[in-house]
Chain A
Amino acid sequence: DAKTTQPNSMESNEEEPVHLPCNHSTISGTDYIHWYRQLPSQGPEYVIHGLTSNVNNRMASLAIAEDRKSSTLILHRATLRDAAVYYCILRLSGYALNFGKGTSLLVTP
């Protein structure tokens, strides 16, 4: 199963855009890239997913490199509510989620 690498932590100011990077150099051609986040004291929450093209939804945007070896989750305007651990995930062979350590995002006012 392919692995992902993310920075342990990042910090952002409120109302500023946040770019959360993820490396997945061993990704296979059929692997989708998923992002989930876990707010304090809650279960993980789906954010977005993509395969090759950039994707947008109401929560975030996902930019995928042309070679698919890296991706970036973009929060357009960080709020205090966005402080969470963000996981970049490829799936296990049975389609369960293969969580790594994630990036802890701190948002300061």
Chain B
Amino acid sequence: DSGVTQTPKHLITATGQRVTLRCSPRSGDLSVYWYQQSLDQGLQFLIQYYNGEERAKGNILERFSAQQFPDLHSELNLSSLELGDSALYFCASSVGKGQWTHEQYFGPGTRLTVT
């Protein structure tokens, strides 16, 4: 158990809909990262927040957005869903934000199926 929790575990929704994925980082961790894992693209970094502020952006679509709240939990919002958005979405957390932070702790993931 990494200490990172993600809800829900599974989500099935239709094309065009909007969903919210939630992540609670390990106690004391200030950074939250979101990753997407699909069969064709592998594991890809989407976005990082550090103590409530956006820190880095990866291959995140404009239809996707995220935020980190004062209690440090984070939400990933996916809108206008397409079939290709079906994937496993992982949240990870770490203590720091930068060069000297090497360990990220991953949650169990949310499996999103778009029909």
* Residues on A facing B (Cβ under 8 Å): 30, 32, 34, 38, 42-46, 49, 87, 92-102
Any A CB within 8 A of the CB of B11: no
Contacts A45-B2, A97-B33 given; 12 further ones with Cβ under 8 A? A43-B106, A44-B90, A44-B104, A46-B103, A46-B104, A92-B45, A95-B99, A95-B101, A96-B45, A96-B56, A98-B45, A99-B35
Residues of A near B106 (CB, < 8 A) are 43-45
The SS class assigned to the A binding surface is: loop
| A43 in contact with B42 (CB, 8 Å) | no
B13 interface contact, C-beta 8 A: no
**Residues of chain B at the chain A interface (Cβ within 8 Å):** 2, 4, 33, 35, 42-45, 48, 55-58, 90, 92, 97-99, 101-109
Q: Which residue of B has the minimal Cβ distance to A98?
A: B45
Most buried by B among A30, A92, A94, A98: A94
A100 near B108 with CB under 8 A, answer no
A102 contacts across to B, CB distance below 8 A:
42
Contact A32 B102 (CB under 8 A): yes
Instruction: Give the residue name and chain of the A residue nearest to B55 (CB).
Output: A94
Min CB distance, B107 to chain A, in Å?
Answer: 6
User: Cα distance A93–B58 when bound, in Å?
Assistant: 10
